[in-house]
Structure 1
């Protein structure tokens, strides 16, 4: 039986449905097909929420949250642990589902499910941590700064890693006593929402605390502007992120934006070129480059540029591209024709501006060949914009100072990396790079769930989620004082 003769597809109970108030119900906004990128087959129907449905779901979540916040910390932790167990029990099934829906290879689906398990386990530990401090105060007065839930967290998640990038907010936000309204990308509603609803329902999460409503801009705007939602967490494009940031600011909300920008991988002249080529190829081409941390600029010191280019061209020529769920390819399809068309035009425009196409630049259906451009410079689209496709941009530099200047010639980014045998030199360069995450002797696509994740400028709004940052993100400070009696006042 081939991968596409087997389940999973969208389960029957969720086909064209929204998860609202602990039950599945048809969407008033209608439904649309969920398309498997590799085959073009319809693998289910996604319900599309309208603005009123979003508003109604927010009301139910808002009503359910106080009792959850008052639930004993270890009982909240138990739900997260059971969710991890539910994911583990369905590991193979869910891994294939994520791969098929997102156009990824099976190891990419396995990675998402494996990390989702870790995210739930880490979140389970949050309620059991200290939630504040005793502050100095006058004698007879107890002064406490404590962390309390925001109440309701709105989550808008993307198509590329929908399970991880939704759950990394859903899990800690729930663990810390919030309710969550999740709007996944309608292209990946199973991985980005339905799966989570099933798992948390099985884990015993009370009804209404996790609402899953895929939708378009109308539903998203209703979520961002509703006064009962004090925090919005968004992962996606800088353009949409700016719009959400503007709306959230107007409504005085906390907002966590994780966007994209330029990610630079610097290869020094003392690097092991075989190892560097492997790192570059993974960082730029894994999941077709549709990763916010992808190594989209590869800055190479001129003496080793030609040798590294030859290695990358060889890899690009021989890496198989096709149906990721087949288990026979390294790169799968891009998510849809619109995304592929934008990327293909970026490659063509960059070549027209003077870059040289060394490999790739072609596609069959949605499957785009791994591509290498050399001679890429500032002012070209592939340098100035985030490609979000399988592209290595080779940018030459001579000195360490020039490498830093080129890397920082951007509006910010999430990740940067430096590869070279002289670790002190590599670290000295890394310390000067304007990025939220910096890796020495590695590529840029890294996340261990225990680390703060974010970046300046186009990377987001400078804040971070993950690990020690989660309590800061999903709770707020409250000052509490207690005295035995009311003291005298001079009025």
Structure 2
């Protein structure tokens, strides 16, 4: 049998093996064509309760194993993903509408999450503390127990694995609720990988479903940590529920990221970077460049070049062509994008390129003369739209950048890197790229935003991963019992 044979998982979810979901089945729909290309099992709140009961039992045995065993499974998972990258890329293209390049990039990058997971399992897990008493005092990190992961559709495998890998590596069990629009590439594929890698049964569950399943996962008493990636509106609800239940919630939310372009740049290189930042994966990335802030001296030429670049980018079915841009995920998202573009045009923005669509294929769009009160400039579009505003001074650029309540990623393009360094220190942002656009991620780098973009850095690198998915326990040890006066 070939790896990830649809006959194994079709119409099923993964919970103590491949099984039917209490919610029936749901079709896998290819956004480029509207065709049904598979099916998966749909979970309910009852499935969540059953899975967490099993996971809590399995977790205790997993945590008791030597760290070398957890590291071995993580390394195996990384190897399996590397070997099966074409399979993952196929589903990212067909199910998520990813261009071939984006799909190959995601499939290659995700293996690093599990190799970093192996390093996380092997990392120091505590420290010796100074104490005034004749004893040994230490702080050690212990597994939280069961971790709930709620992941989105846009980079479905990366945004699931960056929580799943470190959570498992640090001795937890995991319940994953992928977005039902990408349940295969963002969930079921990973279940097959971890089973092949030798992860003991009961530790990892994939429960596709809607709001009911996500709510049940947050409310489930045995789930002690929630890792959520998605919209700011949904993240607020998750955070409110978790706070009421005294649970930790790691919230990686939206972004409306600024790219500041100073007047000393190599203009063709700056335009190329700006186009990549705004149009990669149809703009459906939390780190997408949502606001181009360009010095007035080069503004007109920047807009002209960016519009020309946008007009030349092919858009098409990524499964049957080499078009770098595919469809947006569904009609609801397409209509939201077009509404923001239309209202921005009515507010005074000029459509320099794009602004049209056919089916779910939205053309790369450039909105010149954008202002802060224009919807596509003020809001996260999550589509291939590049609003461009002008500034005359560095102080004005900083003011424009900080007007947004989001704070995920910032790009600054200039030959004066020290000036960029100074600018970055004045703009709240979890990520800053000097002389690069706003979209980037590495398993070894900290990731997270501030403000409406989330609750700060929670992922990336061994230290952050250990902190994110464990609890701190203070332990003292002495040779004899301390005498007390009673």
Q: Return the TM-score normalized by structure 2.
A: 0.98
Which residues in structure 2 correspond to 1:8-407 (within 5 Å)? 11-21=6-16, 23-407=17-401
- Give SS of 1:479's match: strand
Question: What's the offset of the Cα at 1:10?
Answer: 7.6
Determine which of 409, 413, 436 is the counterpart of 2:407: 413
Among 455, 476, 482, the alignment partner of 1:481 is 476
CA deviation profile, 1:75-115 (whole Å, cap 9, x unmatched)? 11000111111111112222122222110111111111111
**1:9–1:44: 8 Å Cα contact kept in structure 2?**
no
Q: What is the rounded CA distance, in whole Å, between the counterparts of 2:300 and 2:231 in structure 1?
A: 33
The SS at the match of 2:223 is coil
- Rounded to whole Å, the distance in 2 between the matches of 1:275 and 1:361 is 24
Deviating beyond 3 angstroms after TM superposition, the runs of 4 or more aligned structure 1 residues are: 7-10
* Cα distance in 1, alignment partners of residues 409 and 401 from structure 2: 11
Deviations 1:247-278 (A, max 9, x none): 00000001100001320000011111100000
Q: Contact (CA 8 Å) 1:10, 1:44: kept in 2 or not?
A: no
CA contact (8 A) 2:101 2:324 kept: no
The CA distance in 1 between the partners of 2:454 and 2:319, in whole Å, is 32
Please tell me the root mean square deviation across aligned C-alpha atoms, in Å.
1.3
Does the Cα contact within 8 Å between 1:33 and 1:42 map onto a contact in 2? yes
Shift of 1:412: 2.1
- Cα deviation, 1:401-432, whole Å, max 9, x if unaligned, reads 00000000011221001001122222221221
Q: 1:432 to 1:52 in 2, by over 3 A?
A: same
Supply the distance in 1 between the matched residues of 2:468 and 2:111 (Cα, whole angstroms): 21
How far does the alpha carbon of each residue in 1:129-164 deviate from its partner, in whole angstroms, 9 at most, with x for none? 110011112454111100111111100000000000
Q: Quick one: distance in 2 between partners of 1:10 and 1:276?
A: 44
Query: 1:326 deviation in Å?
Result: 2.9
Deviations 1:197-227 (A, max 9, x none): 0000001100110011001111111100111
Residue 64 of structure 1: how far off its partner (Å): 0.6
Residue 3 of structure 1 aligns with which residue? Answer: none
| Deviation, structure 1 residue 316 | 1.1
Any stretches of 5+ residues in structure 1 without a counterpart? 1-6
In the alignment, is residue 490 of structure 1 matched against residue 457 of structure 2?
no
